[in-house]
Amino acid sequence: MSMTTETVIDRGLPLSGLLMVATIWFAGMGVAALEVRPEAVVAFGAPDRMISAVVGSKGYPLNAGKFYLAARAGPTTVRSLYAAGAWFVWPIIGKRCGRA
C-alpha cells in the first residue's frame, strides 16, 4: 500500500524554486534599503570601513560585530555603506507607537 508521504519524500526539495525565492527576497530588501530610506540599517561587511561611512553620512553606529554593523541611518547612509564595500545593507523596519 502506497502512502502519499512516500511520493512527496521521493521527489525531494525544489531547490531551484527555493533559490529563486531567496534571491527575490534579498534583492527586494536591498532595493527597499535604497528606496525607502529606513531609520536604521544592518550592513554586512567589514565594520572598520563601514563605521567611517556611517559617520560621514550623518548617521551613527548602534552596534558592530565581526561581519556586521547596525546603524541609525542618515540621508545618504545606505549609498555610503555600499560605496565603502558593504556586501548587503538590510533596512530595519521597526514598530512605532504613539504619534509619528
* 0.95 exceeded by pTM: no
pLDDT (average), residues 79-91: 88
Coil, helix or strand for 64? Answer: strand
- pLDDT the model gives residue 98: 43
Where do the domains of the chain lie, and which CATH numbers do they carry? 38-94 (3.30.70.250)
Q: Bridge-partner residues for 90, per DSSP?
A: 42
Q: Where are the alpha helices (DSSP H) in the chain?
A: 4-11, 15-36, 47-56, 77-83
Cα atoms found within 13 Å of the Cα of residue 57, Cβ hemisphere only: 24
